[in-house]
Amino acid sequence: MSAEQSSVKREMRDSRRLTGPNVIWERVGPVIDIALEDHEARAALAAWQTAISALLEGVGWGSEETASRCFPGGLSLTFSAPMDALYAACEMNEWAWSAAEAELDGADKPALEDAIEKFKQEIRSECNPPLPRLQRAASRRGALCLCCDDFVSIGAGRHAQTWSVKELPEAGEVNWDACKRIPIAMLTGTNGKTTTVRLLRLMVLAQGKVPGMSSTDWLMVGDKIVDKGDWAGPGGARNILRDNRVDVALLETARGGMLRRGLGLGAGEADVVLLNNIAEDHLGEWGIQDLDMLADTKFIIRHAGKRVVLNADDEKSVERAHLVEQPLTWFSLDAQNPVLQGHLATNGSAALLDGDALRWCEDGACERLLGVDEVPIAMNGAARHNIANALAAIAVAKGLGLDQQSILAGLRNFRSDSKDNPGRLNLFDIKGFKVLVDFAHNPHGLDALMAMAKAMKPKRLLVTVGHAGDRQDDAIREVALTAWNHGVDRVLIKEQEKDLRGRELGAIPQIMKQALLEAGAPEEAIDIAADEMEAAKQALAWAQPGDLLLLLTLAQRDEVLQLLSELD
């Protein structure tokens, strides 16, 4: 996406299954994403609707429903379908679109009767009769039922029973009394969700329980990493919820998984859900063109919670609070926030910062929990974004039923180091200067980090920046300019070869460098490094006593942390 397109070629960009509540609706079914000119959308939708309705009626699915989502330059088309026939349903959706395109182009349409016979056979071949019977039985009993290509499970964590999808029991053979639930939290947001889920993990451990955590870095049960990688989607949630060691599930829930597959849990399956904040990131992907569309996507998570936690300082969250029908908890860095005050006036619950104290308010009473200086990740108040993360964690922990002693123990013992929170605000003291390693990768996160850095009053300030190639040029420029506009002395632009995503090597650093030069940055204040390790080494060679180096690191995080640990 190196340049904005003036026209859109009509084509099907993606076909996939939606297996949980999603940006279109709460139903399970197939979806196709179509790229087209905006003026074509109405006719395209009508043509698809005609074709899919005829096909659904023909295969005996006449009671299924259709839905769509229109966005600038595109259209998403879906219909509800049984969980055990979603692959056939995807092919049906693709056929309906081919028929719609033929109508739009005045071409011969594919034969409906042939398609009906074909898909009837595919549905018979794919269907797995015990699965819908298990789903209905679980629903009647209020039991959690999770399905994927290979496994089906009833219950959660240490109470989960899991079977191969090819060897499912009948409902009468399941020991339903043993298929109990465990406390479950789901967390989303643009920035801070990984730190918050890691902090919650320490609170659960302090209570003597075994936490299961899915995140963008790994799957973790207790103190053991089960698998490394980005597990912040429905697959990660299912893995944790099926692990028989887990007492409490903490599920980081990224935007990408919600768009590609929907939520990993159905309506009301989680005890509490958190939306930390909403800021520009990943715009232009999966039909999400602007901040409001991104906010609507993240607000999908509300469907899964029995209780919802929102940020009263976040404008887009406040605008959408009326969509929340469940009990609501707010958190805020401003004790006088009018949204917060109005909520507390009705005996609502909230976690807030009052002066230098973190407080919990509920049923008309506010209790001081601890001071900012007792929360290591707050860095004596300089890291205000981490104070917000701590307040969010308090609100979620209360929703999970954790006791106050465990909540306080987690807050006091969780540190911004490579053990508790690797890659997030890891501070090193080296030869009289300081080095901070962080994950900040968008303007919102970088703003928070730079504000904290300025509060530390360094003699000189250096920052390393980079970006992934699937972002628009303006988004790439904005990251570089956000750093520069905070008054840094040197910018090291790092190449991220693993994240080129269609760009040429060197293209992203050149976009960033040109933006900095146009903003008035002198050439001698800018340099380009081949990768994150090279950027770290250049920064260390430049540093003098009193300086602060901000190393924004992802792909080579472990190597950079090891290098700094050896020097610390």
Q: Which of 76, 243, 268 is nearest to 186 (CA)?
A: 268
Structural domain containing residue 163: 130-178
- Helix, coil or strand: residue 325: coil
Query: What is the average pLDDT score of the chain?
Result: 93
Contact 372, 352 (CB under 8 A): no
- Domain co-membership, 89 together with 151: no
pLDDT value at position 445? 85
- Domain co-membership, 74 together with 207: no
pLDDT tens-digit series, residues 516-529: 999 999 999 999 99
In eight-state DSSP terms, residue 5 is -
The angle formed by the CA atoms of residues 512, 516 and 519, to the nearest 5 degrees, is 140
- Domain co-membership, 271 together with 409: yes
Contact 251, 301 (CB under 8 A): no
pLDDT at 77 over 70: yes
Domain boundary among 97, 126, 155: 126
pLDDT tens-digit series, residues 103-157: 999 999 999 999 999 999 999 999 999 999 999 999 999 999 999 999 999 999 9
- Domain co-membership, 78 together with 196: no
pLDDT > 90: percent of the chain? 83
- Domain co-membership, 201 together with 317: yes
pLDDT at 283 over 80: no
Residue 4 in any domain: the answer is no
Least confident segment among 71-85, 143-157, 279-293, 369-383 = 279-293
Q: Which of 333, 447, 312, 444 is nearest to 384 (CA)?
A: 333
Contact 112, 55 (CB under 8 A): yes
pLDDT tens-digit series, residues 330-343: 999 999 999 999 99
As beta bridge partners, residue 308 has: 273, 328
Any residues with CB less than 8 A from the CB of 107 and at least 6 apart, and which? Answer: 101
As a whole number, mean pLDDT of residues 87-95 equals: 98
Contact 527, 465 (CB under 8 A): no
Q: Give CA–CA dist 320/298, Å, rounded.
A: 11
- Domain co-membership, 391 together with 443: no
Burial 414-445 (b: 16+ CB within 10 A, else e): bbbbbebbbbbbbbbebeebbbbbbbbbbbbb
- Domain co-membership, 521 together with 395: no
Residue 226 in any domain: the answer is yes
H-type alpha helices, 526-567:
532-542, 557-567
pLDDT value at position 554? 85
Any residues with CB less than 8 A from the CB of 138 and at least 6 apart, and which? Answer: 144, 145, 154, 179
pLDDT tens-digit series, residues 256-273: 888 889 999 999 999 999
Tokens coding 484: 């520069």
Domain boundary among 178, 197, 216: 178
pLDDT at 288 over 80: no
- Domain co-membership, 398 together with 291: yes
pLDDT at 61 over 50: yes
Residue 265 in any domain: the answer is yes
pLDDT value at position 1? 39
pLDDT value at position 472? 79
- Domain co-membership, 22 together with 141: no
Give, in order, the Cα–Cα distances in Å from 198 to each of 76, 218, 243, 473: 35, 11, 18, 33
Tokens coding 175: 């020991």
* Number of residues in the chain: 568
Give me the numbers of helices (H) and strands (E) for the chain, helices first please: 17, 24
Residue carrying the six token digits 């040029």: 473
- Domain co-membership, 16 together with 142: no
Residue 2 in any domain: the answer is no
Taking the alpha carbons at both ends of the chain, their separation in whole angstroms is 41
Question: Is the pLDDT higher at 522 or at 4?
Answer: 522
Residue 418 in any domain: the answer is no
pLDDT > 70: percent of the chain? 98
pLDDT value at position 238? 97
CATH number of the domain that residue 348 is part of: 3.40.1190.10
Residue 271 in any domain: the answer is yes
Domains held by the chain: number: 4
Sequence-ordered strand ranges (E) for 51-205 = 66-71, 74-79, 145-147, 151-154, 161-164, 184-188
Contact 410, 214 (CB under 8 A): no
Residue 149 in any domain: the answer is yes
To 10 degrees, the CA torsion angle through 94, 95, 100, 106?
130
The angle formed by the CA atoms of residues 51, 53 and 54, to the nearest 5 degrees, is 70
- Domain co-membership, 113 together with 192: no
- Domain co-membership, 332 together with 373: yes
pLDDT at 98 over 50: yes
Q: How confident is the model at residue 470 (pLDDT cuts 50, 70, 90)?
A: confident
As a whole number, mean pLDDT of residues 169-181 equals: 96
Q: Give CA–CA dist 221/213, Å, rounded.
A: 6
pLDDT value at position 3? 38
Contact 89, 149 (CB under 8 A): no
Domain boundary among 178, 209, 240: 178
Q: Which long-range contacts (CB under 8 A, 24 or more apart) does 286-292 make?
A: 286/33, 286/256, 286/259, 286/260, 287/33, 287/69, 287/71, 287/74, 287/76, 287/259, 288/71, 288/255, 288/259, 289/71, 289/72, 289/73, 291/316, 292/316
pLDDT at 200 over 50: yes
pLDDT value at position 5? 42
pLDDT tens-digit series, residues 351-409: 999 999 999 999 999 999 999 999 999 999 999 999 999 999 999 999 999 999 999 99
pLDDT value at position 286? 55
CATH number of the domain that residue 556 is part of: 3.90.190.20
Tokens coding 525: 């204040």
pLDDT at 289 over 90: no
Q: Give CA–CA dist 437/67, Å, rounded.
A: 45
